Amino acid sequence: ILLLNRCMSSGGTKRKVPPGWEEKVSKTTKRKYYFNPYTKESQWSVPTEPAGEVCRCWHILVKHEKSRNPSSWRETKVTRSKAEAVKLAAQMLNEVNSQPTTEARRDRFAEIARVQSDCSSAKKGGDLGRWVAGQMQPAFERAAFALEVDQLSGLVHTDSGVHIILRTG
């Protein structure tokens, strides 16, 4: 039987293939398999993790009036200038960097994110979870992938606003 081009769990419901994977059909066995174009590996079972270079990070976003969507969970309309956003983000970055240990920096980062970040990830201390290359804005990705785990970025400018990134995985 030729399998349809979709993933089925044991219960028969659709399950999405994680980002980056390609679903293919074997010419020999006519069975569906999954190909990771980044590692050139294939497998029969449905993958559970994204393909490609994976990153996990937390971030603090400070929006300004020229941000692509100048509103947030904190403010219906963000009116601060870009210069004010940069100044505010720099103060937050200095506060996090002033902490004496990695653990203290992580804790302070999450505290600031929960209260001051303009991203909805603020509820989770700025945690964006795991994502793969190609899912974020280019400047954000370049900065995040350049960091080592537990390293803090400088100020990162994107169309969304000014970010501070802490790589956590």
Catalytic residue among 99, 116, 137, 151: 137
* 121 flagged as catalytic: no
Catalytic residue among 59, 64, 67, 121: 59
* 137 flagged as catalytic: yes
Our measurement of the distance from residue 13's CA atom to the centroid of its chain's CA atoms, rounded to an integer in Å, reads 27
CA distance 97 to 106: 10
Here the tokens at position 158 are: 């994107």
Catalytic residue among 64, 72, 121, 163: 163
CA distance 67 to 163: 12
* 64 flagged as catalytic: no
Catalytic residue among 67, 117, 153, 160: 160
* 157 flagged as catalytic: no
Catalytic residue among 67, 119, 121, 153: 119
CA distance 82 to 74: 17
**Catalytic positions, please?**
59, 119, 137, 160, 163
